[in-house]
Structure 1
Amino acid sequence: MIAEHAQIAEILLVEDSEADVRLCGFALEEANLVHHLHVASDGDEAIDLLLGHSEHDVMPRPDLILLDLNLPKRPGYEVLSEIKNDPDLRIIPVVVMSTSTSRDDIVRAYELGANCYIPKPSNYDEFVEVVRLIKN
């Protein structure tokens, strides 16, 4: 899913759980994915980063967005909708990772333009496996 030509993958992780941020970071390292990981802890921060309005971080356009659905300030569905409705952002692959396995949630994510929906891994080994799948 990540472009082969990219030397260093720019990844935006939109996740409010510090534990999941750490797990994902370790999993990216374990999967030998050369990357810059940028983290937004809520939906508003994610949109600000993507639109270049962030006071704290400036990032190049990401090669991949890993998006949690249950976020403070702005839900993941709204973030996904805004990304996929923006002509400059819509081409960025978005992988939704959520604790929900509800068919309605999965269908809604795909209807809004998610490229992939993955039940959120619950441990380190599962995170590594998900990252390897995404990498390929």
Structure 2
Amino acid sequence: MAHGESVGIILIEDDDGHATLVERNLRRAGLTNGFMRFADGQEALDYFFGAPLAGGTATSRPPRDDLANSVVLLDLKMPRVDGFEVLRRLKETPATAALPVIVLTTTDDPREIGRCYDLGCNVYISKPVEYDAFIEAVRRLGFFLQVVKLPPGHRMVHRQPPQ
């Protein structure tokens, strides 16, 4: 990440309250770059791997190839498609494999932590259940994301699957 550049956040979180707290406290910690939220795993997979939008189609989300300096914050327990499946797909696909994924979830089960690292997550953080501890954990994450270095010029390239 170049000097003065901030990391963009892609939050995949089904709980509206947690999503609001994460966004608000990351911004308070100084992260002012792009912030994009998906309410469940299927919505995220549709964005990353769905058919590209037709030219001129309006969307509030940046194009998939404009995600340089982005980090995914991923919850595990979500409806439709869980975080394990999202993580597996992101890391097994060459176009998204280099995208850093931080699992941010309430579970601290060692088997689930191991499974996430086996699937390729970069960092695993357990969300504290207590409100003030949760806020503090997100603030610390924000400070970490201000100093993290991503590969220079990292861009996500969407490739069409073979026909």
Higher strand share: 1
2:21–2:135 Cα contact (<8 Å) kept: yes
CA contact (8 A) 1:50 1:61 kept: no
Cα distance in 2, alignment partners of residues 126 and 54 from structure 1: 36
Correspondence for 2:106: 99
The higher radius of gyration belongs to: 2
Shift of 1:66: 0.2
Q: Write out per-residue CA displacement over residues 100-123 of structure 1, whole angstroms, 9 at most, x where no aligned residue.
A: 101000000000000000001443
Distance verdict in 2 for CA 1:80–1:40, change over 3 Å: same
Of structures 1 and 2, the one scoring higher in RCO (CA 8 A, sep 6+) is: 2
The separation in 1 between residues aligned to 2:4 and 2:90, in whole angstroms, is: 21
**Letter of the structure 2 residue corresponding to residue 33 of structure 1:** L
Q: 56, 61, 75: which is aligned to 1:58?
A: 61
Matching residue's letter, 2:135: Y
Q: How many Å apart are 1:79 and its aligned residue?
A: 0.2
Q: Identity, % of aligned pairs?
A: 30
CA RMSD of aligned residues (A): 2.0
Matched positions, count: 134
| Counterpart mapping for 1:65-84 below 5 A | 65-84=72-91
SS in 1 for 2:87: helix
- Unpaired runs of at least 5, structure 2: 54-58, 148-163
Query: Contact between 2:6 and 2:32, CA under 8 Å: does it hold in 1?
Result: yes
CA displacement, residues 67-125 of structure 1 (integer Å, 9 cap, x when unaligned): 00001110100000000011010000000011110100000000000000000144322
Aligned-pair distance for 1:127? 1.5
TM-score under structure 2 length normalisation: 0.74
Distance apart, 1:7 and its partner CA: 2.7
> 1:43-76, CA deviations, whole angstroms, 9 ceiling, x for partnerless residues?
0101112235487543232610000000111010
Query: Structure 1 residues 29, 42: closer, same or farther in 2, change over 3 A?
Result: same
Is the aligned partner of 1:133 residue 2:136? Answer: no
Whole-angstrom distance in 2 between the partners of 1:94 and 1:31: 19
